[in-house]
Amino acid sequence: MFVEPSHTKQNQRTGWIEVICGSMFSGKTEELIRRLNRAIIAKQKIQIFKPALDKRYHTQNIVSHNDNSIPSTPVGLAQEILQYTNDCEVVGLDEAQFFDESVIDVCETLANFGKRVIVAGLDMDYMGKPFGCMPQLMAIAEFITKVHAVCMVCGEVASHSYRLSPSGDRVLLGEADLYEARCRRCFNLGELAEAQ
């Protein structure tokens, strides 16, 4: 389990970036909420953001597949985050794969200002390709946690998000009606069957 480093000297604090990545249903949002709740217990000021396009479950809150939730601010552009984060110590971002590419500079700026930045997002899309700015965010992060789901076909460790619909759009919001967590083998077998 990830244990956060402590900010020791108030006036000499360094910031950092943490990335939580994995497939759908792997527990990214749960882990983000867990870390943010611990920051709240530690009496730190937090701000949480999600891309405005992600309106599943709730327009404001971040909600996990097992119904944990925490209030957030939806933003259209990543740059808007800088307007809300002046006096906070911890910044959380969910569904980071959907943010525009300025999210990389925004995270770096926040960390350079001494803030703890926790970013959760899908590392791969439904084709098994790196998703949005997640590779760049992982490159600049101090800490990366890859979480895993359970393969819905064989029960092994799942790293992939298998799309059950024929849509070829990269962005297709949905839940278990449209996606299944799968291990590498079951993901590849599914792709193969579709191609035949």
Let me know if 95 is a catalytic residue.
yes
Site string for ligand LXEULUCI, 66-105 (x = CB under 6 A): ----------------------------------------
Q: Does 153 bind Zn ion (CB under 5 A)?
A: yes
Round to whole Å and give the CA distance between 67 and 30. Answer: 9
- 85 backbone φψ class: left, alpha, beta (φ>0; ψ -120 to 50): alpha
**Chain centre to alpha carbon of residue 60:** 16
Tokens of 79: 């740059």
- Backbone φ and ψ for 161, nearest 5 degrees, come out as -110, 110
Of residues 12-41, which lie at the interface with ligand LXEULUCI (CB under 6 A)? 24-25, 28-29
Among 152, 153, 178, 189, binds ligand ADP (CB under 6 A): 152
Of residues 164-193, which lie at the interface with ligand LXEULUCI (CB under 6 A)? 170-174, 179
Question: 94 a known binding residue?
Answer: yes
Virtual torsion, Cα 104, 109, 113, 119, nearest 10 deg:
-20
Q: Are 131 and 97 in contact (CB under 8 A)?
A: yes
Q: Does 36 bind ligand ADP (CB under 6 A)?
A: no
Q: Are 48 and 94 in contact (CB under 8 A)?
A: yes
Question: 98 a known binding residue?
Answer: no
Least gap, CB of 138 to ligand LXEULUCI (angstroms) = 16
Q: What residue ranges bind ligand LXEULUCI (CB under 6 A)?
A: 24-25, 28-29, 56, 122, 125-126, 161, 170-174, 179
Q: Which residues are catalytic?
A: 95
